[in-house]
Structure 1
């Protein structure tokens, strides 16, 4: 048997000669063995740069397709959902007169503060999310604090929709499975709808969303009206009042008020939506269209359902439509529950993803890495929202806590602060500023009162509910509602 050939890998004389020749003439050689010369742009780098430029151009075009009509639809998707389902219960606490006054008054205040948000976006185009406005107010500290508020509030909103989805499935199936199972199903649906990253795509679903909530409310109103008319004594026997209920506690009153505030929280995502507009100055048409639609729907829903059902109206109000009609109403409401919930996942995902990849083409979510990281971000958000929905399984109190802690700022005191610091020209008491100064001071005070009193009332009510055993435990299979 022959001996194996052993190679000692010593370079041949010919190889050494070629290498010396190559390295001694760098100015004219192709530098195949030594790699790219420092400062030289290779064909690969040129191709990569061209690809990044192409993806950046495509991304910019893709994320600037919103006009004022689509913005209105996107705002409707974000705003008109859970709020309308809790308003009849708020009317039951406050009474018809105070309920109508609060519903209309807070609605117009929300339009006013939303207009301030729009003006800040026009004056400072670099503001892409509410956190950027926080930077203008308080520097890096403001950016981080407002950004944390932004993330937490949106996560609370997704959790609220996850909880409502659970309630809907339990109602439709007559508690056919553990509520945690339906919570998981709701979370998965919310995640799937949130996958498209552009708000222009959400606008397409917005029409389905809007029709869904109108049909659900309509079924509830008609159903409760028929039940009230057929009851002994008819409509006149319904136990409703123009004034607050006699045994109304401080906590109940403020939970009702904060739920109305929650219904008008559309300015929170306005910076994010306007950042995709091709003509941002058209925002005024959108906020007035949305604001007036909201005031009409909320006031009619709250007043009429309360008048038909009385003080025993439930939250969400679809539960008051009777056994069969409640199932139908919840079935019709499923699109709005999940479409309106998922847009909050999209907003928070865009903020976090854009912050991580601020100076990278990855932020446009049109590359494999972009899509992979985007899916990871929205999945994390959805899991967090699901946990919140299971830890605080009381619908009205969940809305009230989020409204008190965060919407008090996004809708009231932060826009007022922005006007004083970023938009005001001259002294606050100057003739041209006096009306706006008074209005914004009023909005600021409202925000602080809702923050302090609303948070206290919500926490107090939750503690009492758990102590009395009137609510289920954490991650419990018990029915909700």
Structure 2
């Protein structure tokens, strides 16, 4: 009996120590993690969205969708506070849709984040190709280098340990955006006729098709898709009720960055602005900007691997050695899991010749739920107090959440249609690259 008691007393501090390690995330570090997950080179695709939507619609979309994303993330935080045992997004969906909803959302969660890691391997490949400027060097080698870097950066097992990388990530993207804005502004001013001769429009161009306009809108929507990892991040907070500070901080930062970046670069470059906008600033400036943006590519990409690995471990293991990454067995499992996820992401990204268009399709199918209609359903099922029509507050919030629900369904249907049309158009134009190709030109 004494031996058994001594064993329990010896083991109990170890378990608490493991739990404490994974409960050290404050609201400032949460903000950093959300910034890492949310703000990447995708922010530099916003100017091309402005070119299809026009200046007025672009600004309205950036600000309006940003405010909606802040609200739906606020709802997600309320669900977490009321149901502390919810660790990941699928757990929350399980509360309203049962086991089937939990498993379905789990598959969506893993698939989407792994494909995002694949997207960052390709983005890293493109960055290295532009920086090195050596067309004869096999692009697959750059892809492998990108995957290795993503693997190494994803190794910190807790989000609190990961957060310090977020400061580098944030500074990196701000400097890259700053360089592109200045460079395109100078080039536009020095062009024949100056900025007054730059072609831009307050309204969508007459030749813009519905699918092109909605595809541009989804680019902005996906830039605000930070809700997908919010449950996972909040599970490691020592004071979860502070989450709303992070949501407002991130949301306002994103709205400011996306609106200013989209509006200024579109105004300076015009309707021919490239995506990402780094490619619109001339060869030398683009190479410099890509070099500065490398931390964004790899830090923002690797955190998705960390989130997926945490999800798999939380769903699979209860042993503290594995759950809290302790000892050589725990670390061996963690490193192996991160390596497998990275390799799968790289293989899928290289094997599918229309990978980025496929990612857009998957995003339309999944982000519509993660950002819009799931939070709306959470409010109606888990957050709302009393009948929806009792009291002005319930009526107003019911209308707002009904709008978010409808918006999510519109994005699901129209975004899927636009993404499918984009894939078809790419095949018709012959702009689809080959699988596992060495040709650098296929990535630029």
TM-score by length of 1: 0.88
Residue equivalent to 1:454:
415
Residue equivalent to 1:428:
388
Q: Where does 1:1-400 land on structure 2 (aligned, <5 Å)?
A: 43=3, 49-50=8-9, 52-176=11-135, 177-358=137-318, 360-392=320-352, 397-400=357-360
Task: Tell me the alpha carbon deviations over residues 403-441 of structure 1, each in whole angstroms, 9 at most, x when there is no partner.
Answer: 201111100000000000111122122223111111111
CA distance in 2, matches of 1:342, 1:446: 30
CA distance in 1, matches of 2:389, 2:429: 52
Report the aligned-residue RMSD: 1.7
Runs of 4+ in 1 over 4 A off after TM superposition: 45-51, 392-396
Q: Show structure 1 runs of 5+ residues with no match.
A: 1-40
CA distance in 2, matches of 1:471, 1:337: 23
Instruction: Pick the aligned partner of 2:434 from 466, 470, 473.
Output: 473
Residue equivalent to 1:13:
none
Task: Tell me the alpha carbon deviations over residues 249-276 of structure 1, each in whole angstroms, 9 at most, x when there is no partner.
Answer: 2221121111101110111111111111
CA distance in 1, matches of 2:7, 2:189: 71
CA distance in 2, matches of 1:388, 1:175: 25
CA distance in 2, matches of 1:314, 1:197: 36
Task: Tell me the alpha carbon deviations over residues 36-78 of structure 1, each in whole angstroms, 9 at most, x when there is no partner.
Answer: xxxxx695x7676555433311111111111111111111111
CA distance in 2, matches of 1:453, 1:392: 23
CA shift for structure 1 position 393: 5.5
CA distance in 2, matches of 1:162, 1:211: 21
Q: Show structure 2 runs of 5+ residues with no match.
A: none
CA shift for structure 1 position 395: 7.7
Secondary structure of 2:207's partner?
Answer: coil
CA distance in 2, matches of 1:282, 1:398: 36
CA distance in 2, matches of 1:95, 1:217: 20
TM-score by length of 2: 0.95
Q: Is residue 212–residue 332 contact of structure 1 (8 Å, CA) maintained in 2? A: yes
Secondary structure of 1:433's partner?
Answer: helix
Instruction: Give the aligned length.
Output: 440
**Shift in alpha-carbon separation, 1:259–1:323, aligned structure 2, 3 A:** same
CA distance in 2, matches of 1:259, 1:397: 12
CA shift for structure 1 position 175: 4.2
CA shift for structure 1 position 402: 3.3
CA shift for structure 1 position 174: 1.6
CA distance in 2, matches of 1:453, 1:383: 32
CA distance in 2, matches of 1:197, 1:350: 8
Moved more, 353-362 or 233-242: 353-362
Q: Is residue 315–residue 395 contact of structure 1 (8 Å, CA) maintained in 2? A: no
Q: Is residue 320–residue 326 contact of structure 2 (8 Å, CA) maintained in 1? A: no
Secondary structure of 2:275's partner?
Answer: coil
CA distance in 1, matches of 2:11, 2:52: 57
Secondary structure of 1:270's partner?
Answer: helix
CA shift for structure 1 position 155: 1.1
CA shift for structure 1 position 236: 1.2
Secondary structure of 1:476's partner?
Answer: coil
Q: Is residue 82–residue 263 contact of structure 1 (8 Å, CA) maintained in 2? A: no
Moved more, 324-333 or 267-276: 267-276
Between 1 and 2, higher relative CO (CA 8 Å, sep ≥ 6) is seen in 2
**Shift in alpha-carbon separation, 1:135–1:293, aligned structure 2, 3 A:** same
